[in-house]
Amino acid sequence: MASKQTGKAVIFGCAGTITIATATITLLNQGADFSANHQVDEIIDEDNEVLGLVHSHELIDATLSFIPVGGVDANNTKAKAKDALVKPSPGDVVALSGFAAPAGGGDWKNKNWSYVGGFKTVSRNNGVTTYEMNIRRSPNNDITTAIA
């Protein structure tokens, strides 16, 4: 049954597509946590009081949670779901599309990201195994281009 929303309008669920450069399977998106970060340096006077702040080194980090599925037809097996997903290599490109973009902030979620580690599996006795990984991007520069 398709969900129906009543009352106050909210963004419900985590619609979006995750594509990992090295993966050849379908991923069911389970969650995505995005955070915008930057470095803050304080300008200090001779009395050790803060006179100002310098903001730089802006980055956007995300943690993705997803379930790998076996595929379609003959590939739809537990073994395929388990074996098909290979841990990304450092710097692999992760493409996101279809995620809700923040108002006025541009569509910074639906871009190419760089895998930066944190790959883990989460297994429970009473649930499906999910995978998590961390990705990063710069809002000002493409940091996914390999340098020879």
- Reported as a single tens digit per residue, the pLDDT across 36-80 is 889 999 999 999 999 999 999 999 899 998 887 766 666 677 777
Residue 119 pLDDT:
92
Decide if pLDDT at 145 tops 90. Answer: no
For the chain, how far is it from start to end, CA to CA, in angstroms? 50
Question: Residues 5-25: pLDDT tens digits?
Answer: 776 676 666 777 777 876 656
Q: Distance between CA 1 and CA 126 in Å, rounded?
A: 23
Residue count (the chain): 148
Tell me what pLDDT residue 42 has: 96
Residue 104: per-residue pLDDT: 58
Q: Residues 133, 67: contact at Cβ < 8 Å?
A: no
pLDDT recorded at residue 66: 86
- 9-13, 82-86, 136-140: which is most confident: 136-140
Q: DSSP string of the chain? A: ------SS----S---EEEETT--SEEEEEEEEEEEEEEEEEEE-TTS-EEEEEEEEEEEEEEEEEEEE--SGGG-SHHHHHHS--PPPTT-EEEEESPPPPTTS-S-SSSEEEEEEEEEEE--TTS--EEEEEEEE-SSS---S---
